[in-house]
């Protein structure tokens, strides 16, 4: 039986001491595992019309682009400041030790478009909440927020609880 977590390896003390990094490289290296993971995401979207898929920098891009292709939807990157070449909207959010900011092109989503927001990990929820605020600022309607993994002990779902949230693996 296929288990996604069999393709996610733990890297101790990365990027700093005390952190256990969830490395999805083994999953991405295996085309069968990647396909099964993509199919699992798609199963939660049956009957939904998605017009844009927002992928959050950077590991969120991997499955977001595949989902956009499968759903015949546009792919929209949400990135750190200074990475997008056109006019952007910005949304800042709090981190455990400071602040960060995300940007989206100001013409990426039209009012009323149905949007899927995707990232690899739901941790504290700050990044996901900021991405959702950007989508809503542009007038998009968030259908679902997708995550490969949910680090449940960090309670990130609480920050995006008003949206449908799907996670394939919970730690």
Per-residue model confidence as pLDDT tens digits over 38-73 = 999 999 999 999 999 999 999 999 999 999 999 999
Whole-angstrom Cα distance, residue 151 to residue 91? 23
H-helix or E-strand containing 27? helix 25-29
Which one is catalytic: 46, 48, 91, 96?
A: 96
- DSSP string across 80-136: STT--SS-EEEEEEEETTEEEEEEEETTSS-TT-EEEEEEEEESSSHHHHHHHHHHH
- Domains, the chain, ordered by start: 47-170 (3.40.50.2020)
Q: Is the entire prediction scored with pTM above 0.75?
A: yes
96 is catalytic: yes
Q: Is the predicted pLDDT of residue 98 greater than 80, yes or no?
A: no
- Mean of the per-residue pLDDT values of the chain: 97
According to DSSP, the β-strands at 88-95 and 74-78 are unpaired
Whole-angstrom Cα distance, residue 9 to residue 124? 20
Q: Residue 82's pLDDT band (boundaries 50, 70, 90)? A: very high
Q: Is the predicted pLDDT of residue 97 greater than 80, yes or no?
A: no
- DSSP string across 61-93: HHHHHHHHHHHT-EEEEEBSTT--SS-EEEEEE
35 is catalytic: no
Q: Is the predicted pLDDT of residue 95 greater than 90, yes or no?
A: no
Q: Is the predicted pLDDT of residue 94 greater than 90, yes or no?
A: no
Which one is catalytic: 51, 57, 59, 141?
A: 59
């Amino acid at each position: 039986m296929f288990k996604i977590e069999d393709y996610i390896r733990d890297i101790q003390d990365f990027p700093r001491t005390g952190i256990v990094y969830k490395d999805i490289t083994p999953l991405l290296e295996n085309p069968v595992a990647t396909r099964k993971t993509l199919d699992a995401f798609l199963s939660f979207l049956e009957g939904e019309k998605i017009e844009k898929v927002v992928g959050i920098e950077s590991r969120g891009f991997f499955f977001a682009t595949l989902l956009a292709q499968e759903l015949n939807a546009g792919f929209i990157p949400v990135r750190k400041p200074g990475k997008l070449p056109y006019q952007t909207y910005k949304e800042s959010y709090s981190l455990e030790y400071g602040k960060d900011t995300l940007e989206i092109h100001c013409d990426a989503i039209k009012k009323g478009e149905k949007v899927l927001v995707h990232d690899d990990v739901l941790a504290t929820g700050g990044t996901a909440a900021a991405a959702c605020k950007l989508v809503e600022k542009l007038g998009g309607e968030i259908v679902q927020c997708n995550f490969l993994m949910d680090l449940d002990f960090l309670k990130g779902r609480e920050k995006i609880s008003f949206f449908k949230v799907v996670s394939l693996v919970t730690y």
